[in-house]
């Protein structure tokens, strides 16, 4: 048992800019998880961390204490190496769906413990739950059997992994402390290290539709997380990727599943394919598999076979029709010219207001709601032709969604030369 401390003493130390000692960190995380440190005290400490930061030793110790609050998984008994991916969240970010079966088809097991969406960023479990019959909750035994048999599992994390994080995450959400880099990094990495994967690739999003709006902040977060993973013995790499424009052509649960299946069938939007293949290469390299080209495996249809097995293993019907929204509304292009900007945040907010996302953890989501855009920046559009199609079960939602999109895109009638921003910004290892 760690040395005993007092919550006020720990808060005051960080408030005044001091470094917290190892025993202070161990004690406060353990005491908070057990309910001995009150929410208002942890709120004060989280705000002090947001304002004054933490050094690498403090963040590593904080992460370790959160891991120690629960169980650790161990995949060493599997017949193949493991690799996982975590995205910091964006709009239209359906990459996990084609990526997990693709990497499995290349011979590496993917234990993808995923979450639900909150606000304008979508959640992987919400997307997959649009598939009739599919279930997110698996026992550890079911998860291991599926990893051995199919090679990929996407499911909800059990309550046993980093329970301290679950409490702290909910608290940060309502106290304005979500943006603290030490708290973001330790939240993500405590779960991923406890999950026990051998290699981890981080997709750190930058831009209007991401938590990190500027590249310097995103790089600091990526470097912090890569350091934490490396120190914990996990082969960790981060890619900084652009989230000023949403990924693909869809945002919304069932809509994104349909687009992911297109990618697995050898089609789909070029940016989704590019990022899926780039992340797959990093996961395979981290797991020590260098002789397989994921682009070839994707084209061969083997990733689609792995997808079908993965969905069936979790009681989903991969052949079933996906749910569709009861109402749709087209938004016409305002002029003829080149679409030069499509703001990820505007699209994400519109999808959220249509019912694809939730404002509170307990809110339901609509499986068929969301936004389809019919052009990406650089594409030619014609005045009066649909630029967006909005989908929802509740037509009263259209007005607020349309308000979100206002000012969220530009059409240049001059058709000037357009240079798209690169999707892959940097690699940090």
| Residue positions annotated with a catalytic role | 86, 165, 172, 187, 191
Matching residue, tokens 């590593």 = 60
Classify the C-alpha dihedral 67-112-215-176 as positive or negative.
Answer: negative
DSSP β-bridge partners for residue 371: 251, 390
What does residue 371 show for φ and ψ, rounded to 5 degrees? Answer: -125, 135
Element of type H or E holding 371: strand 370-373
Q: Classify 333 as helix, strand or coil.
A: coil
Whether the CB-CB separation of 104 and 298 falls below 8 Å is answered with: no
Report the distance separating Cα 224 and Cα 216, nearest Å: 12
Element of type H or E holding 58: helix 56-68
Is 62 exposed, middle or buried, given 0-12, 13-18 or 19+ CB atoms closer than 10 A? buried
**C-alpha distance from residue 377 to each of 22, 72, 207 (Å):** 49, 44, 15
Q: Classify 238 as helix, strand or coil.
A: strand
Element of type H or E holding 146: helix 140-149
Report the distance separating Cα 269 and Cα 247, nearest Å: 9
């Amino acid at each position: 048992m760690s040395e005993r401390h007092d919550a006020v003493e720990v808060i005051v130390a960080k408030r005044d800019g001091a470094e917290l000692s190892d025993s202070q960190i161990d004690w406060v995380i353990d005491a908070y998880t057990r309910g001995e440190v009150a929410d208002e005290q942890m709120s004060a400490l989280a705000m002090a961390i947001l304002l004054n930061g933490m050094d690498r030793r403090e963040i590593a110790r904080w992460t370790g204490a959160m891991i120690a609050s629960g169980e650790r998984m161990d995949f060493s008994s599997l017949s193949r190496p493991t690799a996982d991916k975590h995205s910091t969240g964006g709009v239209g970010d359906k990459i996990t769906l084609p990526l997990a079966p693709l990497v499995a088809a290349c011979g590496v097991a993917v234990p993808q413990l995923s979450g639900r969406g909150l606000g304008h960023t979508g959640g992987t479990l919400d997307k997959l739950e649009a598939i009739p019959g599919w279930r997110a909750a698996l026992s550890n035994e079911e998860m291991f059997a599926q990893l051995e048999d199919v090679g990929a599992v996407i499911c909800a994390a059990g309550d046993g992994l980093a329970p301290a994080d679950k409490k702290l995450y909910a608290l940060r959400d309502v106290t304005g402390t979500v943006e603290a880099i030490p708290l973001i990094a330790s939240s993500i990495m405590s779960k991923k290290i406890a999950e026990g994967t051998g290699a981890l690739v981080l997709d750190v999003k930058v831009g209007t539709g991401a938590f990190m709006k500027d590249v310097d902040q995103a790089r600091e977060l990526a470097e912090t997380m890569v350091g934490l993973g490396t120190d914990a013995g996990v082969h960790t790499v981060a890619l900084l990727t652009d989230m000023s424009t949403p990924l693909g052509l869809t945002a919304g649960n069932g809509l994104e599943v349909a687009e992911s299946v297109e990618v697995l069938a050898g089609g789909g939007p070029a940016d989704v394919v590019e990022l899926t293949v780039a992340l797959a290469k990093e996961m395979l390299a981290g797991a020590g598999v260098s002789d397989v080209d994921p682009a070839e495996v994707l084209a061969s249809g083997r990733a689609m076979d792995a997808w079908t097995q993965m969905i069936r293993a979790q009681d989903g019907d991969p052949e079933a029709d996906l749910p569709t929204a009861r109402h749709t509304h087209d938004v016409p292009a305002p002029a003829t010219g080149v679409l030069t900007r499509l703001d990820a945040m505007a699209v994400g907010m519109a999808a959220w207001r249509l019912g694809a996302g939730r404002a509170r953890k307990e809110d339901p989501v609509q499986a068929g709601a969301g936004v389809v855009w019919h052009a990406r920046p650089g594409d030619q559009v014609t005045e009066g032709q649909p630029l967006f199609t909005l989908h929802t079960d509740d037509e009263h939602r259209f007005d607020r969604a349309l308000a979100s999109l206002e000012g969220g895109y530009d059409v240049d009638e001059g058709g000037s030369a357009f240079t798209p921003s690169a999707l892959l910004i940097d690699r940090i290892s």
